[in-house]
Copies of this chain bind each other. A is one copy, B any other.
Amino acid sequence: MHWRAITRLFGILMMLYSLSFLPSVGIAILYDDGQAIIFGLSLLITFVGGLFLWFPNIRQRAELSVRDGFLVVTLFWAILGMVGALPFILGLHLSITDAVFESISGFTTTGATVIAGLDQLPPSILYHRQQIQWLGGMGVIVLAVAILPLLGVGGMQLYRAEASGVAKQEKITPRIAETARALWIIYLVLTLACAIAYWIAGMNLFDAVGHAFTTVATGGFSTHDASIAHFNSIAIEIIAIVFMLAGGVNFAIHFVAWRRMTLRPYVNDPEVRSYGYIFMLGLLIITLSLYLAGEYTGASSSLRYAAFQVTSILTSTGFTTADFSLWPLHIPLVLVILSFTGSCAGSTAGGIKIIRIILLAKLGLRQLFQLAHPQAISVVKLGGKAISEEVLYSVWGFYVLYIVTALLLTVAMMAAGLDLESAFGAVVATINLLGPGLGDVASNFSGVNAVIKWLGVFGMLVGRLEVFTLLILFLPAYWRH
């Protein structure tokens, strides 16, 4: 482990990150909401903290290895989580638990909140929350598309066969920078387009930018307690649906489409195609169920609420236009299943991810088929290409660890006092990076105890870091040479 080089890296990161408090300072001055000093202080603390980490290690320029990568990625989210919590502690006087929960929920693009009464918050703090999610989304795209494949983790390795093999011994820095720039441009363009669309549709500029931040990041933080329902506008809901769906697409596909100036890559990619099918199927089931259960008057209302909630949950955004946890019969559970399914690998979304679901389903069916026809040889293919054993095992391992973690977290949440439905809801809300849950945590986490909040923080980190990256740190073998 290159401890000092890692420390130097995080010193630089914190000094850079301290600049992110500047827009909040500006907004605090503009709205005169009394928080300018708070953000100035946060900036100063973060910058000086970074300086203290960086300066003693200024010459520690050792290239980081792949093994360092797991620790760096985990610490990245943990440290940003703490830094981003500063304004919540200093400005809102939240407890450390609440502030860290809120901040981690932001950076992981989960969007679960411990704050009830958003509409009364100072604008600069509201802006800070939205920006955290946007930056978190930015970090995640680079993590998912560029870094995790190099570590041999995450759904994206399926796209880049070379990553799991050759690259394991490579140094990881140069390739990342190049990929990151292209991805960020796309991310920025999507955000800009989304903000302008919201603005035209009737949001004020502050809300438009704030919600664009958390739509494209599939984060789900809102500046209003009522979330998107606050605006009660079909136009805004349609814009949100379009950009949430875009946020749930693999950014590597966006990248190719952007470069070649064509929509073909979306159609050709088997995961994006399945993403479309699953969306349609979910939409059909939920619309029909809402209509038949008579929850809303008329088919068009059922379609409206179903379309928004299915998109929001499939992409793990967590915006709401209705309290879906109170929808009748099987509807909440179907939505929970969609949340576990998730969107594409290489996006900002949470959940198991569609590419893994496809492979799991293909394997289940292949076993049945082979029993019926023992002589037939069937290879698991995706988009016409055979999938290697190594990748299949990796998907399996991911799935097992994901489900076991979710189960144990549910047990722990119940041990900490939640009932079954709430505990399950809290796990869905955090490990899938969804935000809203069921039962006691249907709309926010303000009413639950500190233990449950910390379990939630763990869940969000596990979900964001694709399980392996975090859990590997608990493996003694990781720390041995």
Interface residues of A (CB under 8 A from B): 66-67, 70, 151-153, 168, 289, 329-330, 332-334, 337, 360-361, 363-364, 366-374, 389, 393-394, 396-398, 400-401, 403-404, 407, 410-415, 417, 420-421, 423-424, 438, 468, 471-472, 475, 477-478
Contacts and interface: CB of A to CB of B under 8 A. Distances in A.
Given A329-B414, A367-B396, A420-B420, 14 more contacts: A152-B371, A330-B414, A333-B411, A333-B420, A360-B400, A363-B393, A367-B394, A367-B397, A367-B468, A369-B477, A371-B468, A372-B475, A373-B477, A389-B389
Contacts of A370: 152
A438 B414 CA distance: 15
Contacts of A424: 420
B368 A333 contact: no
B374 A410 contact: no
Contacts of A329: 414-415, 417
A376 to B, nearest CB: 9
A472 B372 contact: yes
B337 A411 contact: yes
A472 B330 contact: no
A364 B401 contact: yes
B468 A397 contact: no
Contacts of A438: 420
B411 A372 contact: no
A368 B417 contact: no
Contact of A475 (B332, B368, B396, B421): B368
**Copies of the protein in its oligomer:** 2
A67 to B, nearest CB: 7
- Among A289, A366, A373, A396, the most chain B Cβ lie within 10 Å of the Cβ of A396
Contacts of A364: 396-397, 400-401, 404
Contact of A153 (B67, B371, B389, B404): B371
A428 to B, nearest CB: 12
23 contacts: A66-B374, A67-B372, A151-B371, A153-B371, A334-B411, A337-B411, A361-B404, A363-B393, A363-B396, A364-B401, A366-B393, A366-B397, A368-B468, A368-B471, A368-B475, A371-B468, A371-B472, A372-B475, A372-B477, A372-B478, A373-B477, A396-B396, A403-B403
A455 to B, nearest CB: 12
A408 to B, nearest CB: 9
A307 to B, nearest CB: 20
A122 to B, nearest CB: 39
A373 B475 CA distance: 11
Contacts of A411: 330, 333-334, 337
Contacts of A389: 389
Contacts of A478: 372
A468 B367 CA distance: 8
Contacts of A289: 415
Nearest to A474: B368
A398 B168 CA distance: 32
A225 to B, nearest CB: 25
B412 A330 contact: yes
B337 A407 contact: yes
A219 to B, nearest CB: 27
The 9 closest A-B pairs by CB, nearest first: A367-B397, A330-B414, A364-B400, A372-B478, A330-B415, A330-B411, A364-B401, A168-B374, A372-B477
Nearest to A360: B400
Nearest to A408: B337
A374 B394 CA distance: 13
Contacts of A475: 368-369, 372
A333 B410 contact: yes
A325 to B, nearest CB: 10
A398 B337 CA distance: 19
Nearest to A420: B421
A367 B420 contact: no
Contacts of A361: 400, 404
Contacts of A407: 337
Contacts of A471: 368
A306 B151 CA distance: 44
- Among A330, A401, A475, the most chain B Cβ lie within 10 Å of the Cβ of A330
Nearest to A366: B397
A149 to B, nearest CB: 12
A394 B369 CA distance: 11
A361 B329 CA distance: 34
